[in-house]
Amino acid sequence: MLHIVDDEEVVRDSLSWLAASRAIPARAYAGAAAFLRYVEDGQFDADGDCVLLDVRMPDLNGVAVFDQLTARGLAQRLPVIFLTGHGDVPMAVDTLKRGAFDFFEKPFNDNALMDRVQQGLAGSRAAGAAAAVQTRLATLSQREREVLDLILAGNMNKVVADKLGISMRTVEVHRAHIFDKMQVKTAVELAGLLK
């Protein structure tokens, strides 16, 4: 989802239309307060999203919004692209150093901006998928991690059982739990997920 935060209705409409032309779902906000309310309502999930954020808005400027996203731990995994008609080089450099994904000056090249949005969305989805895999890995017990490592090394159940000094049946139970927790059906799927 692309989140468009700009106080100018014509800009929001234009960016929403550009997103639709690339089949990118978008949601527009009339200012920082509306966007932050959405974030605070708990409906916001940074994984797979991107934000186009105007720098100058009457209620709260874009840099302050970015600071709030950073304080919530969202800016690290959420590509934020700043838009401004009043930018300067030091401001652009500062936001990029602080973790912004990019900085565009108005008027901007529509295709260049949407290309960058698509790159941000792709990166955000990949980061979200990687975080989900890490979350699933964290649910494995120490023994399941040991069995997982031996499975990934290409060992058959009998070899895993011999190496760990447990029965084949116990290996099968651990293997079933691993597949269930990691949400895969085969060792090949598991290896692909963890590559």
Each residue's pLDDT expressed in tens, for the chain with a length of 195 residues = 999 999 999 999 999 999 999 999 999 999 999 999 998 887 677 778 999 999 989 888 899 999 999 998 887 778 999 998 876 777 778 888 888 999 998 888 999 999 999 999 998 888 778 888 888 999 999 999 999 999 999 999 999 999 999 999 999 999 999 999 999 998 888 888 887
Q: Of 89, 119, 135, which one is at a domain's C-terminal end?
A: 135
| Same domain membership, residue 165 and residue 79 | no
| Same domain membership, residue 163 and residue 123 | no
| Same domain membership, residue 184 and residue 131 | no
Q: Of 96, 113, 135, which one is at a domain's C-terminal end?
A: 135
Q: What is the span of the domain harbouring residue 155?
A: 139-193
Q: Of 135, 151, 172, which one is at a domain's C-terminal end?
A: 135
User: Any idea of the CA torsion for 13, 18, 22, 27, to the nearest 10 degrees?
Assistant: -30
Read out DSSP for the chain? -EEEE-S-HHHHHHHHHHHHHTT--EEEESSHHHHHHHHHTT----TT-EEEEES--SSS-HHHHHHHHHHTT-TTTS-EEEEESS--HHHHHHHHHTT-SEEEESS--HHHHHHHHHHHHHHHHHHHHHHHHHHHHHTS-HHHHHHHHHHHTT--HHHHHHHHT--HHHHHHHHHHHHHHHT-SSHHHHHHHT-
pLDDT at 67: 92
| Same domain membership, residue 143 and residue 113 | no
How many other CB atoms are there within 10 angstroms of residue 118's CB atom?
16
pLDDT at 180: 94
pLDDT at 119: 94
| Same domain membership, residue 170 and residue 98 | no
| Same domain membership, residue 150 and residue 125 | no
Domain count of the chain? 2
| Same domain membership, residue 80 and residue 33 | yes
pLDDT at 126: 82
| Same domain membership, residue 147 and residue 68 | no
pLDDT at 158: 94
| Same domain membership, residue 13 and residue 63 | yes
| Same domain membership, residue 64 and residue 101 | yes
| Same domain membership, residue 150 and residue 117 | no
pLDDT at 86: 77
Task: Report d(CA 122, CA 52) in Å as an integer.
Answer: 15
Q: Is the pTM of this model over 0.85?
A: no
Q: What's 168's domain CATH number? A: 1.10.10.10
| Same domain membership, residue 149 and residue 119 | no
